[in-house]
Structure 1
Amino acid sequence: MNLQDMPSLAPTQIELSLTTDTAGEPFKEPAADAFILGGFTWRHASQDRARPVVIINAATSVRCRHYSRFADYLFANDFDVITYDYRGIGESRPTSLKGLQASWSDWGALDFEAMLKRAQREFPGQPIDVVGHSFGGCAAGLGASGHLIRHLVTVGAQFAYWRDYAPAHRWRMFGKWHVVMPLMTRLYGYFPGKRLGWLEDTPAAVVRDWSTPTARYETRPSGRLMHAKTGRLPFASVTAKTLAISISDDPYGTIAAIERLLGYFTHSTNTHLRIAPEDIGEEEVGHFAFFRSAYQATLWPIALSWLQTGELAPDTPGRRVPRS
């Protein structure tokens, strides 16, 4: 099978407006297993123990540079910021992805955990907040030090259970992510997403986690291994005030998908805010656009307010989804 022969499977073709420049200072950080992770730090010249530091967890196979303008915005509003790439992606990519042992649970338990430890070390005594996009919201619950998180904001956060996809797109998305993606991964030893225009190239074990069609994270391949070691998953260690933002035209982040993930954060105070594009004067937003600078005046203040106060401002657009 040739890459040129692959169908586009529109309308779920992924197009990212990648920020290639960054005002952040590059760093290298070893995870607990010595894998070297790369990322960027936005650091104010003077330390202030009252100033929070925000860790941004990317979506699956989206480079951390995609979030640079959002990091600039947080920095301008008196936050220190850490962005980073999971192993196998962007600044944390080795020469070859073939044979790389990197799963979703590795991205959370090893990579995100390393960033929590880095935040503790580099910004001692400062509150630690987290923003998680898509799988990045799930990763926020997989670090052993999740109890350190003060405020958590997730955007379209879920772990790709296919029955939760929006009905109008479900079967096309199933074909793309649960049939074509694992097939291409088997052929190449990793998913050649960059050549297809479907996100970044992706490690094989991450593809296995994503494409496994089960409703519980602990029944995904790496989730099963994590659960078998302790009999539980780390999510319950997170006690942060949590805001889960979902967009009504996001085919991944449906209400069912967001609530499925929130159900794992059993010891945090969770608020689910559902926003329709028309609530902010737009025709469409979707899964990836939240972090584009076009939404600095409309969507970014929602996340900012929560990070600052742990509350929604009275004039916040959208509606709260009742917790079941």
Structure 2
Amino acid sequence: MATAAVPASVNIPGVAGVSLAGLMFQPAGEPQTAIVLHGATGVPRDYYARFAAWVAEARQAAVLIYDYRDCGHSAQVPVKQARATMADWAVRDQAAALELLHQRFPELPLEVIGHSLGGLGLPFHDRGDRVVRMVAVASGPAHWSRHPLGFVPKALAFWYLAGPLLTSLLGYMPGWVLGQGAHLPAGAYWEWRRWCITPGFYRRDWGRRLPQPDLSRMKGRLRLVAIADDPMLPPPVVRDLAGFYPAAQVENHLIEPAAAGVASIGHLRVFSERCRAVWPVLAGL
């Protein structure tokens, strides 16, 4: 069995003086590729650490994981004072992480693994044209009407009842509502809400709150990975992400819980140790 990669702490210079706390995993030998893992909304980087260590050896890769601004190890103020938005995370922070990886390994192919929010930002990134492959996991243009019927009441409550009420009262979205324990800055919740209750998702913000993306930038391989029992980003929504990468070479993968040897996976659990059997699909193998 290969020795697990040991991570080194990395400081990622961000926009406007923001610093992101990263971990870099290196394989035992010389890396053959460089991979950045962009996490899902509100999911701490440490959740992805075991997967990243495994990928470093399985792919002979340098693998970077990190926390978005105002989250986890990158948080510099209490969440109630945080001003981060989804645009900060998807556009600015993801681009900063990709840029650092390029600068550290300028001669290596660049790859991206994006979980949920992590698969949405590449059309905005200057280095997007250097990415030879992206694996987008449970990522796509969400809308409340496209959830499975049984999940719609929960989604509507999150966007129209409990979510707005708690965020307004507390000044942030408490993590227990999301089921993962990480609080969200109010600005991130409100922007996320706007995207998910609007047809077209974040298209309405292009050229306004978001830069105008270059949809031709990503010409590499794009693997869209859907989870069969994911109620938040069901398979048809994941497949729709291809529309945001029209120049990419797209392949679709569907992961059934049985393939991971578990009864259920949902939106977040696929990177956990219990789903290790399907990690090769997430790693691009």
Partners in 1 of 2:201 and 2:216 — Cα distance?
14
Alignment correspondent of 2:77: 95
Could you tell me which runs of 5 or more consecutive residues in structure 1 were left unpaired when the two chains were aligned.
Answer: 1-21, 309-324
Aligned to 1:41: 24
CA drift at 1:224: 6.0
Which one of 39, 59, 71 corresponds to residue 58 of structure 1? 39
1:247 Cα shift? 1.2
Q: Tell me, what secondary structure is at the counterpart of 2:162?
A: helix
How far, CA to CA, are the matches of 2:38 and 2:193 in structure 1?
20
Partner residue, 1:76 = 57
Structure 1 pair 55–282 and aligned structure 2 pair: CA distance change class (3 A): same
Specify the alignment match of 2:117 in structure 1.
Answer: 135
Q: Which amino acid is the alignment partner of residue 41 of structure 1? A: M
Contact 1:244–1:271 (CA under 8 A) maintained in structure 2: yes
SS in 1 for 2:133: strand
The one-letter amino acid paired with 2:11 is: K
Contact 2:43 2:180 (C-alpha < 8 Å) held by counterparts:
no
Alignment of 1:1-324 (within 5 A): 23-44=6-27, 47-48=30-31, 51-77=32-58, 78-193=60-175, 197-212=179-194, 213-219=197-203, 223=206, 225-227=208-210, 232-296=212-276, 298-304=277-283, 306=284
Q: Sort the Cα spacing of 1:194 and 1:284 in 2 relative to 1 into closer, same or farther, 3 A.
A: closer
Counterparts of 1:89 and 1:75 in 2: how far apart (Å)? 24
Alpha-carbon distance between aligned partners in 2 of 1:86 and 1:299, rounded to the nearest angstrom: 26
Deviation, 1:280, is 4.6
For 1:223 and 1:256, how far apart are their aligned partners in 2? Answer: 23
Unaligned runs of 5+ in 2: none
Aligned pair count reads 278
- The answer to whether the 8 Å contact 2:143/2:201 transfers is no
- Partners in 1 of 2:17 and 2:159 — Cα distance? 31
% identical aligned pairs? 25
Q: Distance in 1 between matches of 2:260 and 2:29?
A: 36
The answer (yes or no) to whether the contact 1:57–1:139 under 8 Å persists in 2 is no
Per-residue CA deviation, residues 13-38 of structure 1 (Å, 9 max, x unaligned), is xxxxxxxxx93211222213221111
- Distance in structure 1 (CA, Å) of the matches to 2:177 and 2:144: 24
Give, as a single letter, the amino acid of the residue that structure 2 aligns with 1:225. R
- When residues 260 and 26 of structure 1 are mapped into structure 2, their CA distance, relative to the original with a 3 A threshold, is same
The residue type equivalent to 2:47 in the other structure is H
How many Å separate the matches in 2 of 1:224 and 1:199?
Answer: 33
RMSD: 2.3
